[in-house]
Amino acid sequence: MMISNKKIFPIAFIVSCCMLSFAQAQNVDLFAEKDEPIRDIVTSTFKTTRIVNGHSIENVGKGILDFKILHRFGQLSDGAYNLFGLDQASMRLGLDYGISKTLMVGVGRSTFEKQYDGFMKLRLLSQSTGGKNFPFALSYAGTMIYKSLKNTSTTIKPYETDRFTYAHQLIFARKFGDYFSLQLTPTLFHYNLVSTSKLPNDFISVGISMRERISKRVNFTQEYYYRVNKLEGYYNSFSVGFDIETGGHVFQLHVTNSTGMTERTFINETTGEWGKGNIRFGFNVSRVFTVRKPKEFRK
């Protein structure tokens, strides 16, 4: 049966419209944006980059310079003659800088043993909720320490490289809501030079730290380092303190049995013993400067 031209054009027009509608429907299905769950990064696991002596999981922001003063008085057991340690003091001056959102670096100088230190801390994983849930945060911190105190020995003259110590740390942290945070810090030390051939050059320790919220601006902190293999005559470092937020800054007050404020001295070479009152009152303060503003705030 032959179909006239007058019938062919209406049929072709209807078929074309149907095909165009089907193609548009396919395009909508293929290219329509789907609502993806939002990933929320957990922040403020701890209130600052130091818990007491040791690193926390936190970094300073990109383009931010943080000038830190870590101060320790003498031992409370020294009694009234030394005003329970207030007549004596040691401190560390430090500068920390945020290179990116995940990388910060820092340098410091301690009066105790005239030590210089430099470190870098890199955020590897972030705790998150929502679309991509991840249960903890992970960072790596590497520190190099140089002991510049003059050698009193007249028989042995050490090389300059013998004065260096290195610390490698993995920092695992989790924030359990607004009121509690927990951190584990396995640490590996390497001494370029030890006092006797019987001692190893490498030492292992594990730190555990906690933050407990007391009020909107006050947190209670604890920091303990257990030494797996030990130098004789030294004790495990234990510190407790309070973090007080004051208008964008955190002022830290604490009591510790450690004199030094580098990883070498407070983790592996703490001479104070809590049971004998060999503890020290101290505080940490910082002043933050914006060196480089984020692009969205530049004019």
Span 73-112, pLDDT tens digits: 888 777 777 786 777 889 999 999 999 999 999 999 999 9
Whether the pLDDT of residue 295 is over 70: the answer is no
Residue 22: predicted pLDDT: 42
Instruction: For residue 162, give the 3-state DSSP assignment.
Output: helix
* Higher per-residue confidence, 201 vs 157: 201
Q: What is the pLDDT of residues 152-174, one digit of tens each?
A: 665 667 788 888 999 999 999 99
**Length of the chain, please?**
299
Inside any domain, residue 243: yes
| pTM for this model (two decimals) | 0.81
- Rounded CA-CA distance 282/276 in Å is 18
Inside any domain, residue 13: no
Percent residues over pLDDT 90 in the chain: 57
Inside any domain, residue 265: yes
Residue 262: predicted pLDDT: 93
Residue 185: predicted pLDDT: 97
Residue 284: predicted pLDDT: 94
Whether the pLDDT of residue 297 is over 80: the answer is no
Inside any domain, residue 49: no
Inside any domain, residue 17: no
Inside any domain, residue 239: yes
Strand spans (E) along 126-217: 128-130, 137-147, 164-176, 180-191, 202-213
CATH code of residue 248: 2.40.160.40
Q: What is the pLDDT of residues 5-49, one digit of tens each?
A: 454 444 444 444 444 444 444 444 444 455 566 778 888 899 999
Inside any domain, residue 181: yes
Angle at the Cα of 46 from the Cα atoms of 44 and 48, rounded to 5 degrees:
95
Q: What is the pLDDT of residues 44-67, one digit of tens each?
A: 899 999 999 999 999 999 999 999
Summary mean pLDDT of the chain: 84
Phi, psi of 30 (to 5 degrees): -80, -35
Name the residue range of residue 250's domain. Answer: 73-149+158-294
Inside any domain, residue 21: no
* Higher per-residue confidence, 188 vs 80: 188
User: pLDDT band at residue 210, thresholds of 50, 70 and 90?
Assistant: very high
The torsion of the CA quartet 176, 178, 184, 190, rounded to 10 degrees, works out to 150
Domain count, the chain: 1
User: pLDDT band at residue 71, thresholds of 50, 70 and 90?
Assistant: very high
Q: What is the pLDDT of residues 132-159, one digit of tens each?
A: 889 999 999 999 999 988 876 656 677 8
